[in-house]
Amino acid sequence: MNGMRGGLSLVLSLALAASGRAAEVVILKSNEQPGVRPVVDALRRAGAAHTFAEFDLGGNRAQGERITSGLRGRAVILVAVGLLAAQVARAALPEAPLAFCMVSDPDKAGLAGAARVGGVAAEVPVKNQLAAFRLVNPKGVRIGVLHGPDTADRIDDAQKGARLVRVALVPRLVSSEREVPHVMRELLTGAEAVDAVWMMGDPVLTTEQTRRYVLAETLKAGRPVYAYSDSLIAEGALASDGPDPASVGELLADLVERLATGERGRLDMRVPRAALVINKKIAGKLKIEIPADALKAASRVF
């Protein structure tokens, strides 16, 4: 029965592409973490010729499986925002065309090289991010890095980039939210205290409670936070140098368009524009003097 449904889905998808009609696009969101809404809004604007439906998995795989089970047999193009959404989409509807974003390691997630699957890179190169942070805060040469198990393999690349821009990284693995207070005390106190804390985009660190705790503790200690998303600037981070949400949404819309017109081969990963965003108010509170070059290079200044 599942095989028949999968075959029907493929036939319907090909018929849709041949007809040239607007595609039915289903957006699956792992959760409503910061940065998701601007991406989805940009996708909807750029892909206005298509029809869209949105589903929030709420971080729950079982909920994602229930949602995708209702999509079997329908000629849809899937857009997955986040790792969980992408994994659920591929497992439940492996023949459906898929565009994804906010997945830090597509190879590990089994998304690389598949036919009718394309994605937008989850971040700009780490070296570029660290160079931007150094430009904003030249005295911040010792940077603590919070990361979860899913982003542990990115630390080696980050260390290489750090050496190139002459900063020292102090990485700390956080396996669960319960470990965050202890790790923060290690980074912010004592002779080995860091000059700034860098939050990577990691499922362990993106919950509202964890974000607020990290931002509050660093501010209390007189240190800035470098963020994985510009959405954290309004919450109190000093700077972010991540993908521009509008660029991510526009690139997703382009992938959707290619899938809707029947492209069947492998779609290359797309690289979004970077957006340096600076919180000048936080800089004032922390007595950090931001160089004119950094302000000039910024996409936005709060």
Q: Could you give the percent of the chain with pLDDT greater than 90?
A: 75
Give dist(CA 2, CA 9) in Å, integer. Answer: 11
CB 86, CB 103: distance < 8 Å: yes
Q: Could you give the percent of the chain with pLDDT greater than 70?
A: 93
CB burial of residue 107 (10 Å; 0-12, 13-18, 19+)? exposed
Per-residue pLDDT reduced to its tens digit, 207-241: 889 999 999 999 999 999 999 888 899 999 999 99
The DSSP code for 197 is: E
Strand bridging mode 168-173 / 76-81: unpaired
- pLDDT classification of 298: cutoffs 50, 70, 90: very high
Q: Is 137 left (phi over 0), alpha (psi -120 to 50) or beta?
A: beta
pLDDT for the residue 7: 43
Give dist(CA 90, CA 98) in Å, integer. Answer: 8
Residue 190 has pLDDT above 70, yes or no: yes
Per-residue pLDDT reduced to its tens digit, 115-148: 999 999 988 888 999 999 999 999 999 999 988 8
- The model carries a pTM of 0.76
Give dist(CA 160, CA 139) in Å, integer. Answer: 20
Do 126-243+276-301 and 2-122+244-272 have the same topology in CATH?
Answer: yes
Domain boundaries along the sequence of the chain? 2-122+244-272, 126-243+276-301
User: Considering the domain 126-243+276-301 in this protein, what is its CATH number?
Assistant: 3.40.50.2300
Segment 37-48 shows an average pLDDT of: 97
Token pair of 254, please?
């382009």
Architecture of domain 2-122+244-272 in CATH? 3-Layer(aba) Sandwich (3.40)
Residue 12 has pLDDT above 70, yes or no: no
Give the chain's length. 302
